[in-house]
Amino acid sequence: MSLRRQLAQLLVLRASGFASDSQRRYPRWEASNAELRRWLAEGLGGVILLGGSAADLALRCRQLQHWAGPSAEQRLLLCADVEEGVGQRFEGASWLVPPLALDPLWRRDPERAEALARAYGACTGREAQLLGLNWVLAPVCDVNNNPANPVINVRAWGETAAAAAALATAFLEGLQQQGVLGCAKHFPGHGDSSGDSHLELPLLPHSRERLEAVEFVPFRAAIAAGVASVMTAHLQLPALDPQRPATLSAAVLSQLLRQDLGFQGLVVTDALVMEAIAGHYGAGEAAALAFEAGADLILMPADVAAALDALEQGFQQGRWPQERLEQSLERRQRALRRCTPPPAEAAGALEQLAQAEAPHRALAQELLELSLQRQGRSVLQGRSVLQESGVNLIRIDSSLGCGFLPLAAPALLRPQAAGFQALVLDDRSQPLNLETLPPGPVLLQLFVRGNPFRGSAGAGGAWASVVQSLLEAGRLAGLVVYGSPYLWAELQPLLPQTLPAAYSPGQMPAAQALALQSLGLGSDPHEGGFTD
């Protein structure tokens, strides 16, 4: 292979899981089919996918590999951010509770929690492998010991180093036994940041001793368990490198990760289009610095051609020896040899996926039930419908692309069947004015969790005053918090013990059905068959 073709194998582009260009949800970041075919013909090494159904994904993965070619050296790394099961990103597969939901159970019963984390990983790995993904960008090995963390939050497996290490490792074992690669992220630890690296470059001022005691612990465990890849964090850690962020730091990737921790697998950058990097470095410069620091794979460079040009120029000018490239290519091939090929035909894969649906759905339901918290009586205790119209006040981050709130969502239809009319607020809504709220009892449903690009963990104290005002007015009929355990911990002490309330770490329709069922709001005949 030519030098440029070899270097192209180190790049991972973002693409839509849908087949048609017109279906792309994020065309700014997702390559068109013409671009994909061109880059695959030039030796592109991997694709990260987002969007579409499980059936779309099965077809897409096989299409991309067909475009790349049949030979072993043309085999693609096909990956997705499916930290909460494949169904988190691709409808029709299993969507599981956020990993942090298992932390409280681990404190009570670590053996059971680790068994469930292992099953969680096996479910994710099996569905990924069938559909055509061979690389799952999970587990998150960050320790979420900062409740205000805007970007890690419930994506982490634990709030302590011990919990995060035990549960992430159990997940990893279950995952990689299914013939797919895992990825420990975000090294050396993003859990105690107060900034979102999608929007800015966060600073972690901790000493090396503190990092050894907390942040490094889950990564050491994952490495010992044979994790195939480690993803870098876009963080500034002066104790490790006062000049460059971790993704671009040889002190972090080559010295700490390779030498000190002994990791011999693939090192992949977090997406280089994120503002923590793209806001400070050019596309070519960032790719070259990441490779120079010790990264094997460059994920989502801001400009593919510029990244490839910079890497090629670096070798031509003698910036790096050929041996350095050969090491990365060998690690890539070694990782691919660990992968079990998917069924050749998408139809066969979907048939096998259907056969796994019952046990995977049972696991998803068990995780929801174990993590549900509730108090008080039924919302409708002693009456089948409200004696007066009520308000179903729902708060979501954004109504655009809100996958957990389809038209047939239990959060909409179950309260409606009981006489509560929906009022949905999102980040574009005017601040809530209780004086202009329609009359009647209020069922308050809050969908709040830390998420990338949000810039905050979502609580912020405002909802405590809303709850207090509704209580003082005698209007709060019930409360459900979906997602953030920190918001629930803030609001639950304000509630009378008899007031019906529930918390679920999940936000998906099945979580809504279970939480509302626990408050006495049963199914609606028009609901989309979501499990109770």
User: What residues are annotated to the active site?
Assistant: 198, 270
Kindly state the tokens that stand for 390. Answer: 């009520």
Rounded to the nearest 5°, which phi and psi values hold at 382?
Answer: 85, 5
The answer to whether the CB of 513 falls within 8 A of the CB of 530 is: yes
Q: Which helix (H) or strand (E) holds 329?
A: helix 322-337
* Nearest partner of 130 among 339, 350, 336, judged by Cα: 350
> For the residues of 414-482, what is the DSSP string, one character each?
HHHHTTEEEEEE-TTSPPP-GGGSPSS-EEEEEEE---TTT-S-S-TTHHHHHHHHHHHTT-EEEEEEE
From CA 405, how far away is CA 87, in angstroms rounded? 15
From CA 242, how far away is CA 155, in angstroms rounded? 28
* Nearest partner of 516 among 472, 478, 460, 464, judged by Cα: 478
Tracing tokens 């990983």 back to the chain, one arrives at: 121
- Going from the C-alpha of 498 to that of each of 58, 372, 374, the distances in angstroms are 48, 17, 11
Instruction: Fill in the amino acid letter for 101.
Output: A
From CA 282, how far away is CA 194, in angstroms rounded? 25
Tell me the longest C-alpha to C-alpha distance in the chain.
80
